[in-house]
Chains A and B, each alone.
Chain A
Amino acid sequence: MFSEEEVVHKIIDGDLRAFNVLVTRYEKLVFHVINRMANDEQDKEDICQEVFIKVHHNLRKFRFESKLSTWIARIAYLTAINYLKKYRKSIFTDPLQDSDDSYFTSDNPQEILIKKDVNTYVNHLIGKMPGPYKILLTLFHLEEFSYQEISDITGMPEGTVKNYLFRARKLLKEQLELYLSKEVT
């Protein structure tokens, strides 16, 4: 069985096999966090690698005051933010200041193709949303973190997390409604 404490102590003592176990266990989580923040496949893998190197480097600072997954997700989140800052992507804009419909522009042939499957279409829509929406949807729905944990990971107040999640899902629902009504007619 995987024991966080045991694995962490082994890694601190220099056991690289234990580190391998940790990476295998959390690589999906890190990938999910990074996946929607970066576009290039090679970049995604590089960022994930960077995250785990930071995890290894900072493991001594982990105080077991949160779950290890929350701590690793925070490192992944901050690393993704650094990446976006470096490439001047607009993660820092407040989504509530934008016009809600501005993320979803008119259809092009590629978009029509994507619309053939609901899941693919939803993922495509998420890809067009601002950074905070993307990350919150991932952490809440894919990784099933609680509001409090998401607040710890992102540093956003719990109320903001709830508000952004609500807005993001409402926007997606409206687009989905539009899409499904077109499908029926």
Chain B
Amino acid sequence: MKKLTDNEIQQLLDEGRFSSPGDDRELKMYQALYSALRQEPKSGLSYGFAAKVTAEVRVLQEIRRSYKVYVGVFGIGLTLLALVYWGLSLSQQPYALLLLKYKWMILFGLAVMMTVRYLDHRLHYRAIFKRPFHHHFPDTEFEM
């Protein structure tokens, strides 16, 4: 009988055409190899992995939601400030003049408050996902 080449043996095994052990030494070797290749690794993910990932995604969703609220509040706040400024500039009341005089200080104070809130938000986010390599917003498109 003609001796099978490596290529032929692999092809036949890929197609599942050798169910019983063959006599050919090469074939036996490949059968042992294929059987070993199908063995699952002994180690695995920790128990409760799915629950852990789900919990992480929940936290991520909450953070994103609060971030959207934060951006919304910031936008509304800016609009209100512009309106107040416009109103004050029309008014001739002494308190209005006083507020206008310190408008840059007030704006600076508000900007500092917003920045602190934002940094706190980012630190919270990072503390949750502190890993050796981590970037949650993938740069690769996964369309399929």
Max chain A C-beta neighbours (<10 A), residue from B61, B137, B138: B138
Cβ–Cβ contact B140 & A78, under 8 A: yes
Asked whether, in the complex, the Cβ of A172 is within 8 Å of the Cβ of B50, the reply is no
Instruction: Establish whether residues A31 and B53, one from each chain, have CB atoms under 8 Å apart when the complex forms.
Output: no
Cβ-defined contact, A32 with B41, below 8 A = yes
Asked whether B51 lies within 8 Å of A122 as measured between CB atoms, the reply is no
> Given the complex of chains A and B, what is the CA–CA distance between A75 and B144 in angstroms?
11
Kindly state whether residue B29 has any CB partner on chain A within 8 Å: yes
Instruction: Enumerate chain B residues within 8 angstroms of A123, measured Cβ to Cβ.
Output: 36, 39, 41
Known: A118-B36, A173-B29, A180-B29. A52 touches B53 (CB 8 A): yes
**How far in angstroms is the closest Cβ of chain A from B21?**
14
Kindly name the residue among B45, B52, B56, B61 whose own CB sees the greatest number of chain A CB atoms within 10 A.
Answer: B45
Q: Is the interface of A mostly helix, strand, loop or mixed?
A: helix
**What sequence of 0s and 1s flags, for each residue 160-185 of chain A, a beta carbon within 8 Å of any chain B beta carbon?**
00000110011011001100100000
Q: Report yes or no: A61 in contact with B50, Cβ–Cβ below 8 A.
A: no
B106 an interface residue at 8 Å Cβ cutoff? no
Residues of chain B within 8 A of A63, CB atoms compared? 143-144
Please determine whether A66 and B43 come into contact, CB atoms closer than 8 angstroms: no
Interface residue count on the B side (C-beta < 8 Å): 43
- The reply to whether B33 and A176 contact each other, CB–CB distance below 8 Å, is yes
CB <8 Å contact, B138 and A83:
no
Asked if A23 is an interface residue, CB under 8 A from chain B, the answer is: yes
Tell me which residues across on chain B come within 8 A of A158, comparing CB atoms.
none
Residue of A with least CB distance to B137: A57
Known contacts A61-B143, A66-B144, A119-B39: A176-B29 contact under CB 8 Å: yes
Q: Is the CB of A20 within 8 A of B50?
A: yes
Q: How far is the CA of A74 from the CA of B10 in the complex (A)?
A: 26
Contact in complex: B30, A61 (CB < 8 Å)? no
Q: Which residues of B contact A (CB under 8 A)?
A: 6-7, 10, 26, 29-30, 32-41, 43-46, 49-54, 56-58, 60-61, 131-134, 136-138, 140-144
Q: 28 A-B contacts, Cβ less than 8 Å apart?
A: A14-B61, A23-B54, A27-B45, A31-B41, A32-B41, A35-B41, A45-B49, A48-B45, A53-B53, A57-B136, A58-B138, A63-B144, A65-B144, A74-B142, A82-B133, A86-B132, A86-B133, A118-B32, A123-B41, A141-B34, A141-B37, A166-B7, A166-B10, A169-B33, A170-B10, A173-B26, A176-B33, A177-B29
